[in-house]
Amino acid sequence: MATIGHNNLNAKLVLLGDMGAGKSSVVLRFVKGQFLEFQESTIGAAFFSQTLAVNDATVKFEIWDTAGQERYHSLAPMYYRGAAAAIIVYDITTQESFSRAKKWVQELQKQGNPNMVMALAGNKADLEEKRVVLAEEARTYAEENGLFFMETSAKTAKNVNEIFYEIAKKLPRAQAPQNPAGMVLVDRQGDAARASSCCS
Amino acid sequence: MEKKKIDEDGSGPSSPKPVDRFGFIKPESSNSPDNLKRSKSSGSEREKRRVQKWRKMIGVGGSDWKHYVRRKPLVVKRRIRKGIPDCLRGLVWQLISGSRDLLLMNPGVYEQLVIYETSASELDIIRDISRTFPSHVFFQQRHGPGQRSLYNVLKAYSVYDRDVGYVQGMGFIAGLLLLYMSEEDAFWLLVALLKGAVHAPMEGLYLSGLPLVQQYLFQFDLLVKEYLPKLGEHFSQEVINPSMYASQWFITVFSYSFPFHLALRIWDVFLYEGVKVVFRVGLALLKSCHDDLVKLPFEKLIHALRNFPEEVMDPDTLLPLAYSIKISKPLEELKLEYEKVHGKEGQSIIARGKQKQVLERNGSSSRNSKRAEKQKGESIKSPETILLKKVSLRRHFSHRKAEHDKLDGPVAQPVQELKRRDSQLMSRHATS
């Protein structure tokens, strides 16, 4: 959950999406600026962190990268529970991964933190010739469901930093130190949620 | 030899990269434990004598093995804990896992599974193939022999057990096996493990809901709290639970992102003594770093739990520490505790119920009845029981083949291409 200290914000972010959609590659590009043509499959989940400067504040993302296969579904709630943000990744070259992304959106809408900032990432945008999911279709879906949408390419780095930057801007935060109403309370709740998730 | 392979393949790097003694490409400027190892164990005479001892114990093609194990089980256990000589590892793994018996009792089954059957998991498997041990020369080459055998083994298993199908993580196990044996041998070893030829079946790790992963994590969590209470308390404070760092230990039996030389030593013991060693090694890892771990905040802690220092992962210090941790009894108690809470509705009960039925039908004549008695509470299947599966498989071969022939269109194409190559490979395999 997003927590605030001065101008610094800590935000838990989770990546969800079909296997092979490129979740780990997106994270690796964002955190280390690297890309591996054959990124090892993620088993279980992996943790990363990266700090971004947004205007006069910094946002530190605590990122959980999850295993994509349907069978691993039962492990996912631990990672999205209490998350301030989620990137749902699909692969523009497969329709199944887009369907899977929609299922994740539904699940987060039902089970996730209601203030969660959700982004839909159509990854592998460099593979234009293999595209099967139209950008317009995804954009429409995203708008209808209150997500923001970007097509990304972990390979070329297109829109990878941008999507995290957009999320950072959209995260709820305290307006000003002298006016710490509303949002701060929400953040406290979030902390409690994170603390309570330990026993599950 | 392996370096040559890269050269022959046009897609390989222009200059062959140095590989370690297991065939993994060395990261630049690595001082892998390999180098240390080699200089240390210059006693190659001792190594030679060790191999001789093992050869004597095994006999020609494994002929003396069962006899030896029956007569001197403790000697076998002790020698396995010291590490099986690498040149005999593949054979010994097949002997101790019971997979050799399965292979002999099921001639031709593997070929049928590979050639004639189709699996709903094929696309999932293909998507993961080039992402399994991508830094190993054998698996690196696109559509090379390594990737083909990996695909075949995983596909065959996904057909053999459609409830399990293919689950991410199985590839690392199959990959590890394939570095030591043929694909047919690797397949039967996978069957022996998942169906429980000698030890408790592992299939619950991969069934829907991952019931056995959940159970193991529950057990591990409480073991940490009991054996390393200070660390357990620290984990609670930092909101860290074993799912965040240990799930892949269980799902892949340390074959995923662990130093390979250590994984092999763990596998030696795992195949002979069962899953208990995974818990023990996990606890030993935590214990070795205990004093550092208790000081770390969440983020550094997570990092440390994924990146243990090299000196901690030296098998000759880590494994003795692991054996010194006695967990049989608490492990069993925690299992019962878990079942009390989750068992009734849990998928694991369904799976276990199914196994029990088969067991009852066939009697529990385990290959190693002494060990079977010791492990009461764990359901154990004999190779004879597993053989049963074959009958039902045969029955739907003809039907599935017709379905397979119908397969067409863009989705089926890559699959069929692979299949064509599979059959080529199989015929080569059959003639050799």
Contacts 24+ apart (CB under 8 A), B39-47: B47/B85
Residue A40 inside a domain? The answer is yes
pLDDT tens across the length of chain A (200 residues): 566 656 789 999 999 999 999 999 999 999 999 999 999 999 999 999 999 999 888 999 999 999 999 999 999 999 999 899 999 999 999 999 999 999 999 999 999 899 999 999 999 999 999 999 999 999 999 999 999 999 999 999 999 999 999 999 999 874 434 333 333 333 333 343 343 333 33
Say which residues have a Cβ less than 8 Å from residue B229's Cβ, sequence separation at least 6. none
Q: Per-residue confidence at B386, pLDDT binned at 50, 70, 90?
A: low
More confident call, B279 vs B428 = B279
In angstroms, the separation between the Cα of residue B370 and the nearest Cα of chain A is 35
Residue A101 inside a domain? The answer is yes
Phi-psi region of A33 (alpha: psi -120 to 50; beta: other; left: phi over 0): left
Q: What is the pLDDT of residue B160?
A: 97
Kindly report the number of other CB atoms within 10 A of residue A38's CB atom.
Answer: 15
**Cβ-Cβ contacts under 8 Å, B210 against chain A:** 71-72, 74-75
Most B-contacting residue of A18, A25, A38 (CB-CB within 10 A), to test interface: A38
Residue A47 inside a domain? The answer is yes
CATH number of domain containing B126: 1.10.8.270
Q: In whole angstroms, what separates CA B130 from the centre of its chain?
A: 19
**Cβ-Cβ contacts under 8 Å, B232 against chain A:** none
- CB contact at 8 A, A108 and A116: yes
- 3-state class (DSSP) for residue B19: strand
**B208 lies in the same domain as B299:** yes
Residue B209 inside a domain? The answer is yes
Mean pLDDT of chain B: 81
What is d(CA B84, CA B80) in angstroms, rounded to the nearest whole number?
6
What is d(CA B7, CA B312) in angstroms, rounded to the nearest whole number?
36
Residue A192 inside a domain? The answer is no
What is d(CA A164, CA A59) in angstroms, rounded to the nearest whole number?
10
**B119 lies in the same domain as B226:** no
Lowest mean pLDDT among B92-106, B234-248, B341-355, B378-392: B378-392
Pairing mode, strands A8-17 and A3-5 = antiparallel
Residue B38 has pLDDT above 80, yes or no: no
In a 13 Å sphere around the CA of A40, the CA atoms on its Cβ side amount to 19
- 3-state class (DSSP) for residue B320: helix
Please give, one letter per residue, the 3-state secondary structure of chain A.
Answer: CCEEECCEEEEEEEEEECCCCCHHHHHHHHHHCCCCCCCCCCCCEEEEEEEEEECCEEEEEEEEEECCCHHHHHHCHHHHCCCCEEEEEEECCCHHHHHHHHHHHHHHHHHCCCCCEEEEEEECCCCHHHCCCCHHHHHHHHHHCCCEEEECCCCCCCCHHHHHHHHHHHCCCCCCCCCCCCHHHHHHHHHHHHHHHHHC
Q: Per-residue confidence at B28, pLDDT binned at 50, 70, 90?
A: low
Amino acid at B149: S
Q: Per-residue confidence at B426, pLDDT binned at 50, 70, 90?
A: very low
**B228 lies in the same domain as B276:** yes
Residue B371 inside a domain? The answer is yes
CATH number of domain containing B319: 1.10.472.80
Residue B374 has pLDDT above 60, yes or no: no
Kindly report the number of other CB atoms within 10 A of residue B356's CB atom.
Answer: 12
Q: What is the pLDDT of residue B342?
A: 85
Which residues span the domain enclosing A156?
3-173
What is d(CA B225, CA B223) in angstroms, rounded to the nearest whole number?
5
> If you write DSSP's letter for every residue of B358-407 in order, what string do you get?
HHHHH----TTHHHHHHTTTS----HHHHHHHHHHHHHHHHHHHHHHHH-
Please, where are the H alpha helices in B238-306? 247-252, 260-273, 276-288, 290-293, 298-306
Residue A180 inside a domain? The answer is no
pLDDT in tens, B300-313: 999 999 999 999 99
Q: In whole angstroms, what separates CA B195 from the centre of its chain?
A: 13
**B218 lies in the same domain as B323:** yes
Q: What is the pLDDT of residue B269?
A: 98
Residues of B with CB under 8 A from a CB of A: 124, 127-128, 130-134, 140, 167-169, 171-172, 206, 208-210, 213-214, 236, 239-241, 243-244, 247-248, 251-252, 256-257, 299, 302-303, 306
Residue A186 inside a domain? The answer is no
Q: How many structural domains does chain B have?
A: 2
CATH number of domain containing A57: 3.40.50.300
Residue B390 inside a domain? The answer is yes
Q: How many structural domains does chain A have?
A: 1
For A77, which residue in chain B has the nearest alpha carbon? B243
What is d(CA A107, CA A118) in angstroms, rounded to the nearest whole number?
12
Residue B285 inside a domain? The answer is yes
In angstroms, the separation between the Cα of residue B412 and the nearest Cα of chain A is 14
Q: In whole angstroms, what separates CA A169 from the centre of its chain?
A: 13
Residue B87 inside a domain? The answer is no
**pTM of this prediction?**
0.81
What is d(CA B407, CA B415) in angstroms, rounded to the nearest whole number?
10
What is d(CA B298, CA A187) in angstroms, rounded to the nearest whole number?
19
**B300 lies in the same domain as B413:** no
Say which residues have a Cβ less than 8 Å from residue A42's Cβ, sequence separation at least 6. A23, A24, A65, A66, A67, A68, B168
* DSSP assignment letter at B119: -
**B362 lies in the same domain as B213:** yes
Burial B241-259 (b: 16+ CB within 10 A, else e): bbbbbbbbbbbbbbbbebb
**Cβ-Cβ contacts under 8 Å, B206 against chain A:** 71
ipTM of the complex: 0.84
Residue B9 inside a domain? The answer is no
Residue B20 inside a domain? The answer is no
Say which residues have a Cβ less than 8 Å from residue B185's Cβ, sequence separation at least 6. B90, B94, B99, B100, B103, B177
Q: What is the pLDDT of residue B60?
A: 86
What is d(CA A14, CA A90) in angstroms, rounded to the nearest whole number?
14
Residue B97 inside a domain? The answer is no
Taking an 8 Å cut-off on Cβ atoms, the answer to whether B132 and A195 are in contact is: no
**B327 lies in the same domain as B294:** yes
- 3-state class (DSSP) for residue B9: coil
For B130, which residue in chain A has the nearest alpha carbon? A38
**B412 lies in the same domain as B366:** no
Q: Which of A179, A18, A22 is nearest to A96 (CA)?
A: A18
Q: What is the pLDDT of residue A56?
A: 82
Q: Write the CA distances from B411 to A92, B120, B123, B157, B416, integer angstroms.
A: 16, 12, 9, 21, 9
Residue A188 inside a domain? The answer is no
For B169, which residue in chain A has the nearest alpha carbon? A43
Residue B158 has pLDDT above 80, yes or no: yes
Residue A100 inside a domain? The answer is yes
Which residues span the domain enclosing B297?
201-242+256-381
Nearest by CB: A49 against B131, B171, B299: B299
**B410 lies in the same domain as B357:** no
Nearest by CB: B247 against A39, A75, A197: A75
**B163 lies in the same domain as B297:** no
Q: Write the CA distances from B115 to A23, B111, B265, integer angstroms.
A: 33, 6, 34
